[in-house]
Structure 1
């Protein structure tokens, strides 16, 4: 009985430490974290979970300071600051990491993943783990965790896009990414790079006919006001990741590295859970209620998109990366797909 009481007192003491106010301790380490999204976003909620977990589980040895909404600059700016050691943690997405470590461009490949779970299994694979460690060694950046913020989908004002052939003649806004340009071109569309800040106006004035973004983005930025048709083809995974500076990470004692890594995984799980519900339920219904015509292609129709871009994408990747790495990625995802199919039988 005495042992149980002592154990209870010990647990109570630990719990008390975890809820002490910030001023009750002087942290041994400070993590300054940057991201580009609003304080009410699912991503920021994830960062708040990261802060709460890391500060609590480290018993105050680590203080986390979050700078949201691009206060420290763009996503790329944040990663450059992490690389320079000015801050410790920053957001990355599928379009930015390749500027620091080129093989990461593989994550932006159109129609590479059929769903979020395929992507999650690939990110947990030995192949990607090795790629991430090489990025840490060569670029000084380590991905701690990642969360899908939804697959990108096409919208336009001309007509429903039900197959790759329907892309012909459409001026489709794309981000300034060679892969996005090649994708729309391969479908017969007219890819038009437009800065994000100018996109709404470009659609409003007819400079472009359409654009492609995750459903949550289409909803949050009211693209339904200037776009009529939405095709849920899920052509490219939107992936937010939490990246830490390798030098800082290695400077932490092993037990604190585990705390930080666990906190990042919890943060990404928080973001993914909320975004997944929003993009599949709330925002679809809301966009339909606002007058958008939403089309869900059949498996055969999605295949027409995928078939149109697969070879051009592989050719492009083979030019930019080691072809053996590109083959290994496609083989890994093929194996994941087979295993998932077998498990479903």
Structure 2
């Protein structure tokens, strides 16, 4: 029998983590909080560190968070599964990865679903969002601690400048391990290859894929800009990071400790949301000036061309997979969130 590196790495992480203390009402409780993201100056890392400081302090020392970055090359989906199984207590992952456990999160893969980040933030506070989070808890045992901004995703590649969707034809593009992201990329005529975030830079460097799509901060801070030549501000999909906690672990905490964790989740969202939005222009300029990528600022007309080509097949796919009634309810809530933001 053969085992993949991912399987061996995940098993090694599990073995290493079981030695850490589990929840106890009488002693300090360790919270094993993991991400596949490396430790860098990113919204995810800053938000996780803010959570640790808040939980460690506000719990009066009864809780202590152990932050685990870039956990031995294990991908986001595997880390989330480890939370579900109790090998980890909390994990941070992109919505596309978590959709493997709760498929309705695929709805956020609809291209150009949100007009702006504030609309997405408003949606995250909506009754529809709470309904989805409760349903995910009941179906998976994964409790949502936070939805935070992962940012609007942009295209990079090593072959040529991308202005319109016609420039995507034939490119080999890495996507998250999510069927809806594969459908999006294929609708543009590109070859979609699912690769975990932890293996992305190496795959770009070795030519396994020509390009990828991510928020500008991730492109700069996590090494993609070092192995790519072209960057386009398509902002085609708004992506969230989701922090989940094993509900059995959570239920073993005191009500006061539970409250501190949920408060810390709100702190994470505030840090991630503000950092991603305020730093976006700076990161794009650094990608151009420091990393030497050719940056194309995608025009509204070019974005509309992407939307017209990619949105219908993705909406058709999520209607088939998730049910038209649910998708229509999400779209209606997005409209309501727009009204709340824009005062309509």
Give the TM-score taking structure 1 as reference length: 0.82
The answer to whether structure 1 residue 27 and structure 2 residue 27 are counterparts is yes
Change over 3 Å in CA distance of 1:162–1:64 after alignment to 2: same
SS of the residue 1:142 aligns to: strand
Change over 3 Å in CA distance of 1:65–1:217 after alignment to 2: closer
Q: Conserved in 1, the CA contact under 8 Å of 2:149 and 2:241? A: yes
Change over 3 Å in CA distance of 1:199–1:323 after alignment to 2: same
Matched with 2:132 is 131
Matched with 1:20 is none
Matched with 1:117 is 118
Change over 3 Å in CA distance of 1:212–1:295 after alignment to 2: same
SS of the residue 1:234 aligns to: coil
Matched with 1:251 is 252
The answer to whether structure 1 residue 162 and structure 2 residue 163 are counterparts is yes
What pairs up with 1:175-324 in 2 under 5 angstroms? 175-193=176-194, 199-200=200-201, 203=204, 208-281=209-282, 283-289=283-289, 290-324=291-325
Q: Conserved in 2, the CA contact under 8 Å of 1:144 and 1:242? A: yes
Q: Conserved in 2, the CA contact under 8 Å of 1:34 and 1:72? A: no
* Stretches of structure 1 lacking an aligned partner (at least 5 in a row): 1-24
Q: Once structures 1 and 2 are overlaid, which stretch shifts more, 192-201 or 53-62? A: 192-201
Q: Give the Cα–Cα distance (whole angstroms) in 2 for the partners of residues 206 and 28 of structure 1.
A: 47
SS of the residue 1:118 aligns to: helix
Task: Quote how far apart the aligned CAs of 1:306 are.
Answer: 1.0
Q: Give the Cα–Cα distance (whole angstroms) in 2 for the partners of residues 219 and 279 of structure 1.
A: 10
Q: Conserved in 2, the CA contact under 8 Å of 1:27 and 1:60? A: no
Q: Give the Cα–Cα distance (whole angstroms) in 1 for the partners of residues 199 and 69 of structure 2.
A: 22
Matched with 1:80 is 81
Task: Quote how far apart the aligned CAs of 1:176 are.
Answer: 4.0
Q: Give the Cα–Cα distance (whole angstroms) in 2 for the partners of residues 56 and 228 of structure 1.
A: 44
Q: Give the Cα–Cα distance (whole angstroms) in 1 for the partners of residues 187 and 127 of structure 2.
A: 32
Q: Once structures 1 and 2 are overlaid, which stretch shifts more, 325-334 or 235-244? A: 235-244
Q: Give the Cα–Cα distance (whole angstroms) in 1 for the partners of residues 84 and 210 of structure 2.
A: 38
SS of the residue 1:96 aligns to: helix
Q: Give the Cα–Cα distance (whole angstroms) in 2 for the partners of residues 72 and 247 of structure 1.
A: 26
SS of the residue 2:240 aligns to: strand
Q: Give the Cα–Cα distance (whole angstroms) in 1 for the partners of residues 61 and 199 of structure 2.
A: 44
Q: Give the Cα–Cα distance (whole angstroms) in 2 for the partners of residues 197 and 58 of structure 1.
A: 32
Q: Conserved in 1, the CA contact under 8 Å of 2:92 and 2:243? A: yes
Post-superposition Cα deviations, 1:229-265, rounded to whole Å, max 9, x if no partner, equal 2110111223222111222223333332221100121
Task: Quote how far apart the aligned CAs of 1:143 are.
Answer: 1.1
Change over 3 Å in CA distance of 1:206–1:49 after alignment to 2: closer
Q: Once structures 1 and 2 are overlaid, which stretch shifts more, 271-280 or 95-104? A: 271-280
Structure index of larger Rg: 1
Q: Conserved in 2, the CA contact under 8 Å of 1:110 and 1:309? A: yes
The answer to whether structure 1 residue 327 and structure 2 residue 328 are counterparts is yes
Count of residues in Structure 1 that have an aligned counterpart in Structure 2: 318
Change over 3 Å in CA distance of 1:97–1:209 after alignment to 2: closer
Q: Give the Cα–Cα distance (whole angstroms) in 2 for the partners of residues 207 and 103 of structure 1.
A: 30
Post-superposition Cα deviations, 1:127-163, rounded to whole Å, max 9, x if no partner, equal 1101101111121011111221322111234443222
How big is the alpha-carbon RMSD for the aligned residues of Structure 1 and Structure 2? 2.6
Post-superposition Cα deviations, 1:37-85, rounded to whole Å, max 9, x if no partner, equal 2233432332222222122222223232222221594322322222222
Task: Quote how far apart the aligned CAs of 1:302 are.
Answer: 0.9
Post-superposition Cα deviations, 1:293-328, rounded to whole Å, max 9, x if no partner, equal 212222222111111111101111112112211111
Q: Give the Cα–Cα distance (whole angstroms) in 1 for the partners of residues 116 and 222 of structure 2.
A: 24
Q: Conserved in 1, the CA contact under 8 Å of 2:157 and 2:228? A: yes
Q: Conserved in 2, the CA contact under 8 Å of 1:204 and 1:226? A: yes
